[in-house]
Amino acid sequence: MKENSTLIVDKDSSIPARSLNIKITENNMEAYITITYSFKEGQNPPPSYNVDELKAELFNKGIVYGIIEENLEKCTDKNGVENILVAKGEFPVEGEDDIIHIKFDIDKDIKKLNEDKYGRIDFKNIGAVTAVSKGDVLVERVPGKDGVPGKDIKGKILKPKPVKKIKLKVSSGCEIKNENIVIASMSGKPSIKNNTFYVYKVHEVKGDVNLETGNIIFSEDILIHGHVKEGMKVIAGNTISVLKNVERAEIKGRSDIVIKGNIISSHVIGGGEDTEKLKELENLNVFRQSLKDMIGAIEEVKKFNLLGYDVSDGQIVKVLMENKFKAIPKQGLCAITHIIKSRQNDDIQGDKLLCLIKGKLLGLAPLSIKHYSEVIEIEETVNERIEFLNSTLSLPVNVKINYCQDSFINSSGDIIVSGKGSYVSELYAYNNVYFTGDMSVVRGGTVKAGKEIKCKTAGSLGGSITKLIVNEEGHIWIDKAYENIVLSIGGREFVIDYASRKLHAYLNENYELKVDRLRL
């Protein structure tokens, strides 16, 4: 509480005096008055304050709103008063956000990952578990309420927080009814992408995918009630749901993939061609940094004539690549492989980068470089390629599985392991890998994520080698970790030397790998 100056009518202690003290709270929402009268025995008391005087003093302090008249009357008491509330502001009444009720079944694990700290869902890319029929209600919006402004005792308007308005947006297979309801205009599988509701056609397989059904290739959603048997392929232009096992098979979807059963010796790729683009981007980012570092080294060599005056720029590049930047040719070859693999008509940019790498960085080609600006041109072209690939990426997708063994799982978004876990498998997610099942175990193989890995149990008493990898900004969390687990963050490695619990690995401010843990 902040205290205002006290008004004293007479400071001479021999003369009857009165004082008025006004206190205003820090938020300017309340004001309190204390009044004292002082006089000696036998003297006439000083005149008590009247309401008009009190109002005038409040006005002098800027208090113009919420004055409590009945309490001002109390302040005229000739004996004085202490901390009487004389003005009170009004707090704003907060409004209510619009609420969305989704009427179709959403995979609960994926939904949970998209909720914010208030339990609201970020509708970026969520698919349904089951199909819907034409005319089914998919979504209902409950409109919120605007807030009511308040005012403090100095007359300042206090605005409520803006409420969240949700505009229903629909695309193919949906329509809006009465402004607040979305219904299916066709039978299929509902989905939410970028806050827009869709219904996709579904290719539904009631039994197994086997030699009798043949491979399943469909441009939209695929729903399989049985197993996907050995040697079979399931490829979808959108989501894939498999309710039973996948055995020595291949699953590829451009959107979310959910596999309820076990995955044995199989390949599961969520994100379609985006997963290949992400691999190319990962290599190109490393390649670009290597080129930048080499350009800096070239400039230093030239500035100080470290290799002599008669050495050409091409010879400098060749020497540096043979001694300090040995990885550049390999990174260049990897870039060429990706360009050829994804080559499309009129890929002028990719063709240019391919020619520059071949003509300037491989074999004896560096000797043909006349000026190191040619290396700068390669680095700039790599950067253009990175920007192009980033611009063509779709929304990240999720792959949710129960258990995998001897398998390869890849996702352009998150991998969620909700069941028993993974055994001697390779899991690669561009964003995160979450083991959400209470008994989930990662044992053997490699788990790699761009951002975060969260495990319940990693490794085993037998010391099976398990590797967990994230980028330098990433974190690794393990509830129970056994020996011989290799943790890698931003290329820095740590091998767990004793069984641990509540483990958290990350890079500190000095980019040193830090492992917080307790002994198991």
Longest dimension (CA), the chain: 116
Percentage of residues in the chain having pLDDT higher than 70: 91
Separation CA 125–CA 160 (nearest Å): 31
Structure token pair of residue 9 = 């009518």
- Report the chain's mean pLDDT, rounded to a whole number: 88
Q: Mean pLDDT, to the nearest integer, of 216-242?
A: 91
Lowest mean pLDDT among 136-145, 268-277, 369-378: 268-277
Separation CA 513–CA 364 (nearest Å): 39
Residue 130 or 148, more confident: 148
pLDDT tens, 249-259?
Answer: 999 998 899 99
Query: Does 278 score more than 90 pLDDT?
Result: no
Query: Does 273 score more than 80 pLDDT?
Result: no
Please list, residue by residue across 368-379, b when 16 or more beta carbons sit within 10 angstroms of its beta carbon and e when fewer do: ebeebebbeebb
Residue 124: per-residue pLDDT = 43
pLDDT tier at 119, thresholds 50, 70, 90: very low
End-to-end CA distance of the chain: 51
Chain centroid offset of residue 71 CA: 53
Residue 10: per-residue pLDDT = 46
Q: Mean pLDDT, to the nearest integer, of 494-517?
A: 94
DSSP assignment of 338-386 equals HHHHT--TT-HHHHHHHHHHHHHTSTTGGGG-SSTHHHHHHHHHHHHHH
Residue 212 is given by DSSP the state T
Lowest mean pLDDT among 31-40, 368-377, 471-480, 484-493: 31-40
Residue 1: per-residue pLDDT = 56
pLDDT tens, 51-101?
Answer: 998 999 999 999 999 999 999 999 988 888 999 999 999 999 999 998 888
Residue 483 or 16, more confident: 483
Query: Does 195 score more than 90 pLDDT?
Result: no
Structure token pair of residue 68 = 């409590």
Predicted TM-score (pTM) of the model is: 0.60
Separation CA 411–CA 417 (nearest Å): 12
Q: Which residues pair with 478 in a beta bridge?
A: 455, 503
pLDDT tens, 303-321?
Answer: 989 998 889 999 999 999 9
Query: Does 411 score more than 90 pLDDT?
Result: yes
In a 13 Å sphere around the CA of 437, the CA atoms on its Cβ side amount to 17
Separation CA 466–CA 435 (nearest Å): 15
Q: Which residues pair with 318 in a beta bridge?
A: none
Q: Mean pLDDT, to the nearest integer, of 23-37?
A: 93
State how beta strands 246-247 and 221-224 pair: unpaired
Separation CA 113–CA 134 (nearest Å): 29
Separation CA 465–CA 424 (nearest Å): 9
pLDDT tier at 178, thresholds 50, 70, 90: confident
Q: Mean pLDDT, to the nearest integer, of 368-386?
A: 94
Which helix (H) or strand (E) segment holds residue 323: the answer is: helix 313-323
Residue 250: per-residue pLDDT = 96
